Amino acid sequence: MKNGVGVAQNIVLFGGTSEIGQAIIHKLVKPGVSHVVLVSRDIDAAEVQVAEMAERYPDLEVHHVRFNADDSASMVHVVAEVAQQVGDIDVAVIAQGVLQEGVDYYANPAALQAVADVNFTGTMVLMYALAAQMRVQGYGKIVLLSSVAGERVRKGNPVYGATKAGVDGFALALDHELVGSGVSVLVVRPGFVTTKMTEGMDKAPFSTDAVTVATAVEKAISHPEQLSGSLAYCSTCF
């Protein structure tokens, strides 16, 4: 659980190679954190990250758990495996996501299934699995990286926006459902963030970076009493 100064002991990042996700983890790692688990598909990349983190924070135990973000059926097992390794899951940051850039959905509409599997179906199953684990713990925080596109789906990439809108709405409802259980959901809606996911794309006005998003999220997690509602608005959220 969290200690008295807002530091969670065990933190898990789903989508362990996500830049925003990693920036959030780096902000959350403070004196008092015991375990960080990076959950990702790519073993080689994860091994490098685990080694880097372990070197940077010698008091911390850093773990890696493998998952396929599009295999929704496996999520329950993934959560169980994480809990097996660290005990309670105090904060879970959900950062896996697919943004198919430049796909002509008019010519190939079936391609959107891959986006929906990761961003929508897989993420919902994962959130239920986490909520179930955290209810037993009597404490837990799920952080969902949504998008400003999830609040207002726009032309350009309506598939991405629609999956984010769907999972964003689900997360808000889940947060309501969990009132009184000690578990809550934080929905983060960054605007255009310059990361490898958006590399090569035209920058939108008011673009931000991963560290700015992470700073806002850290504040919302450590001191939720200073935040109203379940939304963390970052500098470019509108």
Partner 1 sequence: MVMQRLSGWGRTAWTVADLVQSTDLDVVRTTLGSAGERGVISRGLGRSYGAAAQNAGGIVLEMTSENDPMGIDADFDPLTGLLTVAASVSIDAILRMCVPQGWFIPVTPGTRFVTVGGAIASDIHGKNHHIDGSFGEHVRSLTLMLSSGEVIELSPEENPAWFWATVGGMGLTGVVLRATVAMLKIESSRVEVETVRLENFDAVCAAMSADGSDDDYRYSVAWVDLLATGSSMGRGVLTRGDHAAASKVENKEPLAYDPRLTVSAPGWVPNGLLNKWSIKAFNEAWYRKAPAKSHVGLESIPAFFHPLDGVKRWNRLYGKQGFIQYQFIVPLDRTDVLRKVIEKFSAAGVASFLAVLKRMGPQNIAPMSFPTEGWTLTLDMAAGISGLAELLSEVDSLVLDAGGRHYLAKDSHVSASAVRRGYPRIDEWMSTQEEMDPIGLWRSDLSRRLGLVDQRRSL
Q: Which two tokens stand for residue 208?
A: 């931000």
Residues in the chain: 238
Which of 70/175 has CB closer to partner 1? 175
Does residue 160 have an active-site annotation?
yes
Nearest Cα neighbor of 217 from 32, 33, 21 is: 21
Q: Is 136 in the site for partner 1 (CB under 8 A)?
A: yes
Give the residue with the Cβ less far from partner 1, 23 or 145. Answer: 23
Our finding on whether 88 is near partner 1 (CB under 8 A) is: yes
Beta carbons of 36 and 62 less than 8 angstroms apart: yes
Determine if 223 is a binding residue for partner 1 (CB under 8 A): yes
| CA gap 122, 158 in Å, rounded | 19
Nearest distance, CB of residue 188 and partner 1, angstroms: 19
212 binds partner 1 (CB under 8 A): no
In whole angstroms, the minimum distance from the beta carbon of 14 to partner 1 comes to: 22
Which residues inside 1-30 make contact with partner 1, applying CB under 8 A? Answer: 1-7, 9, 30
Size of the site for partner 1 (CB under 8 A): 26
Q: Under the criterion CB under 8 A, does residue 34 sit at the interface with partner 1?
A: yes
Q: One of 57, 105, 128, 160 is an active-site residue; which one? A: 160
Residue 169: Cβ-neighbour burial (10 angstroms; 0-12, 13-18, 19+):
middle
- Assigned token pair, 82: 């994480």
With beta carbons less than 8 A apart as the criterion, state whether 30 and 7 touch.
Answer: yes
* Contact between 128 and partner 1 per CB under 8 A: no
Contact partners, residue 164, CB within 8 Å, separation at least 6:
97, 119, 146, 147, 149, 150, 153
List contacts with partner 1 (CB under 8 A).
1-7, 9, 30-32, 34, 59, 87-88, 135-139, 180-182, 223, 225-226
